[in-house]
Amino acid sequence: MSATDLSAQLLALGIPLHADPAVTLTDWRKRYQGTARAVASPGSTDEVARLVSHCARERIPIVPQGGNTGLVGGGTPDDSGEAVLLSLARMNRIRAIDTENDTITVEAGCVLANVQQAAREAGRLFPLSLAAEGSCTIGGNLSTNAGGVQVLRYGNARDLCLGLEVVTAQGEVWDGLRGLRKDNTGYDLRDLFIGAEGTLGVITAATLKLFPLPAAQLTAFAAVPDVESAVALLNLAKRRLGSSLTAFELISEFCLTLVDQHFPQSRRPLASASPYYVLMESSDSESAEHAQALFEALLGEAIESGLVTDAAVAASIAQSKAFWALRENIPLAQAMEGKNIKHDIGVPISSIAEYVAQTNAALAAAVPGIRMVVFGHLGDGNLHYNVSPAVGADDDVFMANEPQVNQIVYEAVARHQGSISAEHGLGQLKRNENVHYKSAIELRLMRAIKQALDPLDLMNPGKVLPDSP
Ligand SMILES: Cc1cc2nc3c(=O)[nH]c(=O)nc-3n(C[C@H](O)[C@H](O)[C@H](O)COP(=O)(O)OP(=O)(O)OC[C@H]3O[C@@H](n4cnc5c(N)ncnc54)[C@H](O)[C@@H]3O)c2cc1C
């Protein structure tokens, strides 16, 4: 069937096509360029169900896509031109807010920032927060089990979701939009679809948890001499601030250098450079004065014990935003600097300092001159452990080192009982890598789930699961 035939069939089924298909066929990092028979842009669950039923009958693969901010090529079709790209972007309605149950029910294509805003307008907090929040969608967040900067306090996207509406690989609609915090009635189907990266079905809506808005939020930027001190500061902050500690991010000096260079309007909060910095946030349920007193006592104690060498507390919302912009602009600054090898690793917090020291040394020995871009969610044991080429090195020559660099990074992760993908998922980028780090039984169970839910392998084929042995 030609692309024109399929597009005509979809239009005959009442399923709108995307106005400009070209924009959605390249991934955010521009690593993958796909082609598709058609780009469908349904506006309702019923339209998604009709599309999926049609594709199941005709044996046409489907690649779901939300905001296309994923970093592992999960939302990009392959270049065979066989698949239909299913954009959820038009399914962007807030269906309901229940402030007594503290839940919000939204369609999958809702942009994360719009969900946060709707919650705020209802006097509630939806705490999922990440640098891509102006473009990424709830469907994509749930499908990748996104983390972000407040996991420490509120958990991953999975922890924030109470119910799902899903169109199955057969085109049936499963209405699991329950706003229940307790439900022990068998296998948890919701948890199967969360983090499945579109390989088991299409998420069309979700019921999400809401929280009280904090009375005050404070942000601090602290210089620390090394990763060990950052971990010790994390533990001290947990003891002193308790559940008020909502974010704890590590930033290396080289990350800030990149931001200085590519975002010249940025201003560093501290006068002198330090090997590492911590960006810390507290969300207080009492008052600004209470938050301030706790924060100042914590930083005073940390400076006295040598964990922190200098610190600044944001004096206004604008200053807090400027601190956060330093952190959020790191991925963009690194992309502007040129090609790089990205990792999104998780190791137990107690091993993170040793992991960084040992792996930095092993990489420096293997590829002399490389520059380590180390930052991320230290409070969750999750680092963006990225590698940029030596100054003046040819990008393509450097990228030829990727397999060797990945092996060093992932073998070290395995030695520390970690994860090769703590946040971004596997997509196309890491699915075959995963075969070395999952046990045979885990892979067998994952394949069994895929076979049970999508026996024709039409839902986002070539993603998540490794090639068959
Ligand atoms: C600057 C930047 C910062 C980032 N920071 C973070 C971070 O801190 N934490 C983090 O976890 N991630 C982060 N990411 C990665 C990315 O933003 C998240 O993975 C996000 O959750 C993806 O959402 P999306 O709507 O863009 O999904 P897409 O990129 O469109 O899709 C991602 C995957 O989900 C599938 N999918 C999308 N929608 C659906 C649906 N409705 N049903 C079934 N499958 C679907 C796709 O097929 C694909 O496999 C960042 C990305 C960028 C560019």
Q: pLDDT tens-digit profile of 320-365?
A: 999 999 999 999 999 899 889 999 999 999 999 999 999 999 999 9
Query: Helices marked H in 338-460 — which ranges?
Result: 352-366, 395-399, 402-415, 440-453
Ligand 1 in reach of 69 Cβ (< 6 A): yes
Q: pLDDT tens-digit profile of 23-43?
A: 789 999 888 999 999 999 999
Best residue among 130, 326, 336 to mutate for probing ligand 1, ranked by most atoms within 8 Å of CB: 130
**Residue 296: is its pLDDT beyond 90?**
yes
For ligand 1, atom 23, the nearest C-alpha belongs to: 140
pLDDT at residue 19 in the model: 75
Which atom of ligand 1 is nearest the CA belonging to 203? Answer: 42
pLDDT at residue 1 in the model: 64
pLDDT at residue 236 in the model: 98
**Residue 113: is its pLDDT beyond 80?**
yes
Question: Across all residues in the chain, what is the average pLDDT?
Answer: 95
The token pair at 254 is 């080289």
Which atom of ligand 1 is nearest the CA belonging to 131? Answer: 3
This prediction has a pTM of 0.94
Q: Tell me, in angstroms, the distance from the centre of ligand 1 to residue 67's CA.
A: 7
Query: Helices marked H in 208-351 — which ranges?
Result: 227-241, 253-262, 288-304, 317-328, 330-337
For ligand 1, atom 11, the nearest C-alpha belongs to: 146
pLDDT at residue 16 in the model: 85
pLDDT at residue 24 in the model: 85
Task: Please give the average per-residue pLDDT across 147-159, as a whole number.
Answer: 95
- Alpha carbons within 13 angstroms on the beta-carbon side of residue 178 total 11
Cβ–Cβ < 8 Å for 112, 131: no
Between 186 and 7, residue with greater pLDDT: 186
pLDDT at residue 215 in the model: 95
Which atom of ligand 1 is nearest the CA belonging to 141? Answer: 21
For ligand 1, atom 38, the nearest C-alpha belongs to: 140
The token pair at 184 is 């022990």
pLDDT at residue 105 in the model: 98
Q: Tell me, in angstroms, the distance from the centre of ligand 1 to residue 423's CA.
A: 9
Residue 314 to residue 200: CA distance in whole angstroms? 44
Q: Tell me, in angstroms, the distance from the centre of ligand 1 to residue 280's CA.
A: 24
Residue 156 to residue 66: CA distance in whole angstroms? 18
CA 226 to chain centre: 26
Q: pLDDT tens-digit profile of 232-287?
A: 999 999 999 999 999 999 999 999 999 999 999 999 999 999 999 999 999 999 99
Ligand 1 in reach of 419 Cβ (< 6 A): no
Ligand 1 in reach of 171 Cβ (< 6 A): no
Task: Please give the average per-residue pLDDT across 134-138, as a whole number.
Answer: 97
**Residue 305: is its pLDDT beyond 90?**
yes
**Residue 455: is its pLDDT beyond 90?**
yes
**What confidence tier does 83 reach under pLDDT thresholds 50, 70, 90?**
very high
Q: Tell me, in angstroms, the distance from the centre of ligand 1 to residue 273's CA.
A: 33
Task: Please give the average per-residue pLDDT across 138-158, as a whole number.
Answer: 96
